[in-house]
Amino acid sequence: MKHFSKSIIDLYQKVFQVKNCPWCGSEQFIKHAKYHYTYRYKCKKCKRTFLPSTGTSIHYIHKKDQFYDYANVLKNEGLLSLSTMCKKFNIAPLTSFDWRHKILMSIPRNDKVFRNETFCYNLQFNYSRKGRKGIPNPLSNIKAKGLLKDNKYKSQVISLRNTKVLASKLVTVGSVKLKDIKRSIGKNLCRTKSLVINHEIQGLAEFAKLKILNLIAIYKKSSEVQKRIFMENFNSLNLDFKGWINNIKKGVATKYLALYCNYFMAFYSKKFSPFAKNIINQKFVWPFYTLTEHFYKEFILNHTEMNYPKPTKRKWKTSIKYSFKKELFPY
Ligand SMILES: [Zn+2]
Protein backbone atom coordinates (compact mmCIF):
# COMPACT_ATOMS: atom_id res chain seq x y z
CA MET A 1 0.00 0.00 0.00
CA LYS A 2 1.26 3.44 -0.89
CA HIS A 3 2.35 5.47 2.11
CA PHE A 4 0.59 8.77 2.77
CA SER A 5 1.02 11.24 5.59
CA LYS A 6 -1.62 11.45 8.31
CA SER A 7 -3.02 14.66 6.79
CA ILE A 8 -3.76 12.91 3.51
CA ILE A 9 -5.25 9.84 5.18
CA ASP A 10 -7.45 12.14 7.27
CA LEU A 11 -8.47 13.96 4.15
CA TYR A 12 -9.67 10.73 2.55
CA GLN A 13 -11.28 9.32 5.66
CA LYS A 14 -12.78 12.39 7.29
CA VAL A 15 -13.05 15.25 4.82
CA PHE A 16 -13.89 13.91 1.39
CA GLN A 17 -17.55 13.26 0.75
CA VAL A 18 -19.04 11.15 -1.98
CA LYS A 19 -22.51 12.40 -2.79
CA ASN A 20 -22.69 11.87 -6.52
CA CYS A 21 -20.72 10.72 -9.52
CA PRO A 22 -18.26 13.47 -10.48
CA TRP A 23 -18.59 12.57 -14.16
CA CYS A 24 -22.34 12.59 -14.75
CA GLY A 25 -23.74 13.82 -11.42
CA SER A 26 -25.84 10.69 -10.76
CA GLU A 27 -26.50 9.71 -7.14
CA GLN A 28 -26.65 6.04 -8.07
CA PHE A 29 -23.23 4.55 -7.31
CA ILE A 30 -21.73 1.62 -5.44
CA LYS A 31 -18.48 0.79 -3.70
CA HIS A 32 -16.40 -0.90 -6.33
CA ALA A 33 -13.14 -1.90 -4.61
CA LYS A 34 -10.89 -0.96 -1.74
CA TYR A 35 -8.26 1.55 -2.82
CA HIS A 36 -5.37 2.44 -0.50
CA TYR A 37 -7.05 4.17 2.45
CA THR A 38 -10.37 4.63 0.75
CA TYR A 39 -12.72 3.10 -1.85
CA ARG A 40 -13.06 3.29 -5.55
CA TYR A 41 -16.70 3.80 -6.52
CA LYS A 42 -18.61 2.88 -9.63
CA CYS A 43 -21.46 4.87 -11.10
CA LYS A 44 -24.49 2.79 -12.05
CA LYS A 45 -25.54 5.27 -14.68
CA CYS A 46 -22.41 6.13 -16.67
CA LYS A 47 -20.46 3.05 -15.48
CA ARG A 48 -17.33 5.05 -14.81
CA THR A 49 -15.32 4.58 -11.64
CA PHE A 50 -14.07 7.32 -9.37
CA LEU A 51 -12.36 8.09 -6.08
CA PRO A 52 -13.58 10.52 -3.41
CA SER A 53 -10.93 12.93 -4.73
CA THR A 54 -11.83 12.67 -8.42
CA GLY A 55 -12.28 16.14 -9.92
CA THR A 56 -10.92 18.00 -6.87
CA SER A 57 -7.75 20.11 -6.72
CA ILE A 58 -5.74 17.09 -5.52
CA HIS A 59 -6.97 14.86 -8.37
CA TYR A 60 -4.13 13.47 -10.54
CA ILE A 61 -1.48 14.74 -8.14
CA HIS A 62 1.16 12.13 -7.42
CA LYS A 63 3.02 13.90 -4.64
CA LYS A 64 -0.07 14.45 -2.52
CA ASP A 65 1.83 15.09 0.72
CA GLN A 66 3.83 17.90 -0.84
CA PHE A 67 0.75 19.33 -2.52
CA TYR A 68 -0.93 19.50 0.88
CA ASP A 69 1.98 21.48 2.35
CA TYR A 70 2.22 23.62 -0.79
CA ALA A 71 -1.45 24.66 -0.49
CA ASN A 72 -0.94 25.50 3.18
CA VAL A 73 1.90 27.86 2.30
CA LEU A 74 -0.54 29.68 0.00
CA LYS A 75 -2.99 29.83 2.85
CA ASN A 76 -0.63 30.96 5.61
CA GLU A 77 2.21 32.84 3.95
CA GLY A 78 0.65 34.06 0.73
CA LEU A 79 1.87 33.58 -2.79
CA LEU A 80 5.65 33.06 -2.81
CA SER A 81 7.39 33.09 -6.18
CA LEU A 82 7.17 29.95 -8.29
CA SER A 83 10.93 29.46 -8.09
CA THR A 84 10.92 29.76 -4.28
CA MET A 85 8.22 27.10 -4.19
CA CYS A 86 10.23 24.89 -6.59
CA LYS A 87 13.19 24.96 -4.23
CA LYS A 88 11.10 24.56 -1.11
CA PHE A 89 9.27 21.49 -2.43
CA ASN A 90 11.88 20.18 -4.85
CA ILE A 91 9.48 20.25 -7.79
CA ALA A 92 9.76 21.31 -11.45
CA PRO A 93 8.64 24.83 -12.51
CA LEU A 94 5.70 23.47 -14.50
CA THR A 95 4.54 21.43 -11.50
CA SER A 96 4.73 24.50 -9.29
CA PHE A 97 2.71 26.47 -11.86
CA ASP A 98 0.07 23.72 -12.14
CA TRP A 99 -0.29 23.26 -8.41
CA ARG A 100 -0.70 26.98 -7.80
CA HIS A 101 -3.43 27.30 -10.42
CA LYS A 102 -5.32 24.24 -9.21
CA ILE A 103 -5.33 25.69 -5.71
CA LEU A 104 -6.42 29.13 -6.95
CA MET A 105 -9.22 27.51 -8.97
CA SER A 106 -10.58 25.88 -5.85
CA ILE A 107 -11.45 29.27 -4.38
CA PRO A 108 -15.12 29.69 -5.26
CA ARG A 109 -16.27 32.59 -7.36
CA ASN A 110 -17.57 35.22 -4.99
CA ASP A 111 -21.24 35.86 -5.70
CA LYS A 112 -22.11 37.14 -2.24
CA VAL A 113 -24.78 39.79 -2.14
CA PHE A 114 -23.61 43.28 -1.17
CA ARG A 115 -26.43 44.99 0.66
CA ASN A 116 -26.71 48.64 1.64
CA GLU A 117 -23.94 51.00 0.66
CA THR A 118 -21.16 49.40 -1.39
CA PHE A 119 -17.79 50.79 -2.41
CA CYS A 120 -16.48 50.05 -5.91
CA TYR A 121 -12.91 50.43 -7.01
CA ASN A 122 -11.87 50.10 -10.63
CA LEU A 123 -8.32 48.88 -11.24
CA GLN A 124 -6.70 48.62 -14.63
CA PHE A 125 -3.92 46.26 -15.64
CA ASN A 126 -2.17 46.08 -18.97
CA TYR A 127 -3.62 43.30 -21.08
CA SER A 128 -1.08 40.47 -21.02
CA ARG A 129 -0.43 37.30 -22.93
CA LYS A 130 2.46 36.39 -20.69
CA GLY A 131 3.52 32.76 -21.09
CA ARG A 132 1.66 32.13 -24.35
CA LYS A 133 4.32 30.55 -26.52
CA GLY A 134 4.52 31.49 -30.18
CA ILE A 135 2.22 34.49 -29.76
CA PRO A 136 3.90 37.87 -29.64
CA ASN A 137 2.73 39.98 -26.74
CA PRO A 138 0.86 42.87 -28.34
CA LEU A 139 2.03 45.19 -25.59
CA SER A 140 5.50 45.74 -27.05
CA ASN A 141 3.84 46.94 -30.24
CA ILE A 142 1.32 49.00 -28.30
CA LYS A 143 4.10 50.56 -26.25
CA ALA A 144 5.98 51.47 -29.43
CA LYS A 145 2.88 53.17 -30.79
CA GLY A 146 2.29 55.00 -27.52
CA LEU A 147 -1.10 53.35 -27.03
CA LEU A 148 -0.43 51.95 -23.58
CA LYS A 149 -2.86 54.37 -22.00
CA ASP A 150 -5.61 53.37 -24.41
CA ASN A 151 -8.51 51.73 -22.55
CA LYS A 152 -8.70 49.07 -25.22
CA TYR A 153 -5.63 47.33 -23.83
CA LYS A 154 -6.64 47.45 -20.20
CA SER A 155 -7.85 44.46 -18.23
CA GLN A 156 -10.59 45.96 -16.08
CA VAL A 157 -10.93 44.75 -12.53
CA ILE A 158 -13.63 45.92 -10.14
CA SER A 159 -13.33 45.40 -6.39
CA LEU A 160 -16.36 45.66 -4.15
CA ARG A 161 -16.57 46.18 -0.45
CA ASN A 162 -19.08 46.99 2.24
CA THR A 163 -18.81 46.49 5.97
CA LYS A 164 -19.38 42.74 5.59
CA VAL A 165 -18.12 41.46 2.23
CA LEU A 166 -15.17 41.90 -0.09
CA ALA A 167 -14.69 40.75 -3.69
CA SER A 168 -12.64 41.52 -6.76
CA LYS A 169 -13.40 40.49 -10.33
CA LEU A 170 -12.07 40.73 -13.84
CA VAL A 171 -14.84 42.48 -15.74
CA THR A 172 -13.56 42.80 -19.31
CA VAL A 173 -10.65 43.98 -21.43
CA GLY A 174 -11.39 47.40 -22.95
CA SER A 175 -14.09 49.85 -21.98
CA VAL A 176 -16.55 48.66 -19.33
CA LYS A 177 -20.07 48.36 -20.68
CA LEU A 178 -23.39 47.73 -18.99
CA LYS A 179 -23.44 44.09 -20.12
CA ASP A 180 -20.01 43.52 -18.54
CA ILE A 181 -21.22 44.86 -15.22
CA LYS A 182 -24.38 42.74 -15.39
CA ARG A 183 -22.42 39.59 -16.17
CA SER A 184 -19.58 39.99 -13.71
CA ILE A 185 -20.94 41.81 -10.65
CA GLY A 186 -24.67 42.07 -11.36
CA LYS A 187 -25.46 39.30 -8.86
CA ASN A 188 -23.30 40.92 -6.19
CA LEU A 189 -25.08 44.24 -6.61
CA CYS A 190 -28.66 43.00 -6.88
CA ARG A 191 -29.53 44.25 -3.37
CA THR A 192 -27.20 47.21 -3.14
CA LYS A 193 -28.79 50.53 -2.22
CA SER A 194 -26.02 52.93 -3.12
CA LEU A 195 -22.64 52.74 -4.82
CA VAL A 196 -19.57 54.78 -4.04
CA ILE A 197 -17.08 54.73 -6.91
CA ASN A 198 -13.47 55.85 -7.34
CA HIS A 199 -14.02 57.29 -10.79
CA GLU A 200 -16.59 57.36 -13.57
CA ILE A 201 -17.21 54.00 -15.20
CA GLN A 202 -19.69 54.17 -18.05
CA GLY A 203 -21.16 50.67 -17.58
CA LEU A 204 -21.49 51.08 -13.85
CA ALA A 205 -23.24 54.43 -14.19
CA GLU A 206 -25.76 52.82 -16.59
CA PHE A 207 -26.22 49.92 -14.21
CA ALA A 208 -26.91 52.29 -11.32
CA LYS A 209 -29.46 54.16 -13.42
CA LEU A 210 -31.15 50.93 -14.45
CA LYS A 211 -31.39 49.62 -10.90
CA ILE A 212 -32.23 53.07 -9.52
CA LEU A 213 -29.17 52.96 -7.30
CA ASN A 214 -27.89 56.02 -5.67
CA LEU A 215 -24.50 56.66 -7.27
CA ILE A 216 -22.00 58.64 -5.27
CA ALA A 217 -18.63 59.71 -6.62
CA ILE A 218 -15.84 59.09 -4.16
CA TYR A 219 -13.97 62.30 -4.91
CA LYS A 220 -16.28 64.27 -2.72
CA LYS A 221 -14.55 63.24 0.47
CA SER A 222 -17.08 62.16 3.00
CA SER A 223 -17.51 64.36 6.02
CA GLU A 224 -18.21 61.29 8.14
CA VAL A 225 -14.91 60.26 9.68
CA GLN A 226 -15.73 56.56 9.86
CA LYS A 227 -16.78 56.43 6.25
CA ARG A 228 -13.69 58.31 5.16
CA ILE A 229 -11.38 55.87 6.96
CA PHE A 230 -13.23 52.94 5.43
CA MET A 231 -12.89 54.45 1.95
CA GLU A 232 -9.21 55.20 2.41
CA ASN A 233 -8.52 51.68 3.66
CA PHE A 234 -10.29 50.22 0.68
CA ASN A 235 -8.34 52.45 -1.71
CA SER A 236 -5.02 51.39 -0.23
CA LEU A 237 -6.05 47.72 -0.30
CA ASN A 238 -6.63 48.05 -4.04
CA LEU A 239 -3.36 49.86 -4.56
CA ASP A 240 -1.61 47.08 -2.63
CA PHE A 241 -3.25 44.54 -4.89
CA LYS A 242 -2.14 46.45 -7.98
CA GLY A 243 1.41 46.72 -6.67
CA TRP A 244 1.45 43.05 -5.78
CA ILE A 245 0.44 42.03 -9.31
CA ASN A 246 2.73 44.46 -11.11
CA ASN A 247 5.81 44.25 -8.96
CA ILE A 248 5.91 41.04 -7.00
CA LYS A 249 4.29 38.91 -9.67
CA LYS A 250 5.87 40.95 -12.52
CA GLY A 251 2.46 41.01 -14.15
CA VAL A 252 -0.06 38.22 -14.57
CA ALA A 253 -1.44 36.90 -17.85
CA THR A 254 -4.98 38.18 -18.35
CA LYS A 255 -5.99 34.52 -18.65
CA TYR A 256 -5.25 34.04 -14.96
CA LEU A 257 -6.00 37.50 -13.60
CA ALA A 258 -9.48 36.55 -12.38
CA LEU A 259 -7.96 33.80 -10.23
CA TYR A 260 -5.46 36.15 -8.63
CA CYS A 261 -8.18 38.72 -7.87
CA ASN A 262 -10.18 36.01 -6.17
CA TYR A 263 -7.19 34.72 -4.24
CA PHE A 264 -5.93 38.11 -3.07
CA MET A 265 -9.25 39.12 -1.56
CA ALA A 266 -9.85 35.69 0.02
CA PHE A 267 -6.36 35.75 1.53
CA TYR A 268 -6.84 39.29 2.78
CA SER A 269 -10.20 38.40 4.39
CA LYS A 270 -8.57 35.27 5.90
CA LYS A 271 -11.27 33.23 4.19
CA PHE A 272 -8.99 31.00 2.17
CA SER A 273 -8.69 27.46 3.45
CA PRO A 274 -7.76 24.96 0.69
CA PHE A 275 -8.74 21.83 2.66
CA ALA A 276 -11.93 23.02 4.32
CA LYS A 277 -14.75 20.55 3.64
CA ASN A 278 -16.68 22.85 1.33
CA ILE A 279 -13.55 23.73 -0.67
CA ILE A 280 -11.82 20.41 -1.18
CA ASN A 281 -15.07 18.66 -2.02
CA GLN A 282 -15.62 20.76 -5.13
CA LYS A 283 -15.39 18.19 -7.89
CA PHE A 284 -15.20 20.72 -10.71
CA VAL A 285 -11.65 21.95 -10.13
CA TRP A 286 -10.06 19.40 -12.44
CA PRO A 287 -12.47 20.02 -15.36
CA PHE A 288 -12.06 23.77 -14.89
CA TYR A 289 -8.33 23.37 -14.87
CA THR A 290 -8.32 21.44 -18.12
CA LEU A 291 -10.85 23.78 -19.71
CA THR A 292 -9.29 27.10 -18.70
CA GLU A 293 -8.14 27.80 -22.24
CA HIS A 294 -11.65 27.12 -23.52
CA PHE A 295 -13.22 29.50 -20.98
CA TYR A 296 -10.56 32.11 -21.67
CA LYS A 297 -11.28 31.91 -25.40
CA GLU A 298 -15.01 32.40 -24.75
CA PHE A 299 -14.26 35.33 -22.48
CA ILE A 300 -11.94 37.06 -24.96
CA LEU A 301 -14.20 36.52 -27.97
CA ASN A 302 -17.56 37.24 -26.35
CA HIS A 303 -16.81 39.72 -23.63
CA THR A 304 -13.81 41.83 -24.70
CA GLU A 305 -12.64 43.82 -27.70
CA MET A 306 -9.47 41.74 -28.12
CA ASN A 307 -8.81 39.05 -30.68
CA TYR A 308 -7.84 35.48 -29.87
CA PRO A 309 -4.68 34.17 -31.52
CA LYS A 310 -3.86 30.47 -31.66
CA PRO A 311 -3.76 28.80 -28.27
CA THR A 312 -0.91 27.30 -26.31
CA LYS A 313 0.05 23.77 -27.19
CA ARG A 314 -0.67 22.02 -23.91
CA LYS A 315 -3.58 19.67 -24.34
CA TRP A 316 -5.49 17.66 -21.76
CA LYS A 317 -7.71 14.68 -21.98
CA THR A 318 -10.86 16.69 -22.40
CA SER A 319 -13.36 16.74 -19.62
CA ILE A 320 -16.16 18.60 -21.33
CA LYS A 321 -18.45 15.71 -20.40
CA TYR A 322 -18.06 16.39 -16.69
CA SER A 323 -21.15 17.60 -14.92
CA PHE A 324 -20.54 21.06 -13.48
CA LYS A 325 -21.94 24.55 -13.52
CA LYS A 326 -20.01 26.74 -15.91
CA GLU A 327 -21.16 29.83 -14.02
CA LEU A 328 -18.82 28.87 -11.20
CA PHE A 329 -15.81 29.72 -13.32
CA PRO A 330 -14.37 33.05 -12.19
CA TYR A 331 -14.68 34.96 -15.50
ZN1 LIG B 1 -21.76 8.73 -13.56
Average pLDDT over residues 66-78: 96
Identify whether the C-beta of residue 29 lies closer than 8 Å to the C-beta of residue 21.
yes
How many A from CA of 52 to the centre of ligand 1?
13
In the prediction, which pLDDT does 316 show?
65
The domains located in the chain, with CATH, are 116-262 (3.30.420)
Give pLDDT tens digits for 131-155.
887 776 666 666 666 667 778 889 9
pLDDT(223) > 80: no
Number of Cβ atoms within 10 Å of the Cβ of 227 = 14
pLDDT(219) > 60: no
How many A from CA of 22 to the centre of ligand 1?
7
Minimum mean pLDDT among 42-51, 216-225, 307-316: which range? 216-225
In the prediction, which pLDDT does 265 show?
94
**Cα–Cα–Cα angle for 227, 228, 229, nearest 5°?**
95
Give pLDDT tens digits for 286-303.
988 988 988 999 999 999
Q: How far apart, in Å, are the Cα atoms of 225 and each of 159, 198, 231, 232, 280?
A: 22, 18, 10, 11, 41
The amino acid sitting at 123 is L
In the prediction, which pLDDT does 212 show?
79
In the prediction, which pLDDT does 321 show?
66
Q: End-to-end alpha-carbon separation of the chain, Å?
A: 41
How many A from CA of 25 to the centre of ligand 1?
6
Global pTM? 0.91
Tell me the H-state helices in the chain. Answer: 6-10, 64-76, 82-89, 93-105, 138-144, 178-185, 202-210, 225-243, 254-268, 277-280, 285-303
How many A from CA of 27 to the centre of ligand 1?
8
pLDDT(157) > 90: yes
Give pLDDT tens digits for 30-52.
999 999 889 999 999 999 999 99
Measured between alpha carbons, how far is 154 from 174 in angstroms, rounded to an integer?
5
